[in-house]
Amino acid sequence: MKEKYELEFMLKSSPRILEKMFSSPDGLGEWFADDVTVKDDVYTFNWDGSSEKARLIYHKLHSRVRFKWISDEEDGMDSYFEIGYNIDPVTNQVALNITDFAFSEDKESAILLWNQQVGDLKRILGA
């Protein structure tokens, strides 16, 4: 059974740019995967010659997106990954919140991967 974990990162960026980076195939392809395509509500994420499909199950504009891996759906797992953010109205500081699930033996490497991906996002945003 996969266990839920949450991560938080601080960024500086505008909601308009963040929305593109989290919900569009082009934006996700800049930092989350090598290439992303979408057909209907199914996104295909490509990394180094391998690919995984995920269904967009929730999207709240300027707030968060939630995806469920098709393989987890087929296995009957109640897991997902969510990318969300809140903006402090005073400082304009952005709190990026990641919610994901991993098997306990994979959790550490999953967190390292998120750290790397968010590092890529920060470089792209100049944040």
pLDDT score at 29 = 95
Rounded mean pLDDT of the chain? 92
Look at the chain and report how many structural domains it folds into.
1
* Backbone torsions φ then ψ of 5, nearest 5 degrees: -140, 155
Half-sphere exposure of 65 (CA within 13 A, CB side): 18
> Which of 17-21, 24-28, 55-59, 86-90 has the least mean pLDDT?
86-90
Model confidence band, residue 127 (pLDDT cutoffs 50, 70, 90): low
In whole angstroms, give the CA distance from residue 7 to residue 85: 11
Residue 24 CB partners (closer than 8 Å, separation 6+): none
User: Percentage of residues in the chain with pLDDT exceeding 90?
Assistant: 70
Domain range for 71: 3-125
H/E stretch holding 78: none
Q: What share of the chain is helix, strand, coil (3-state, %, to 5)?
A: 35, 45, 25
Examine the pLDDT at 107 and tell me if it is beyond 80. yes
CATH number of domain containing 33: 3.30.530.20
Average pLDDT over residues 63-84: 90
Average pLDDT over residues 2-29: 90
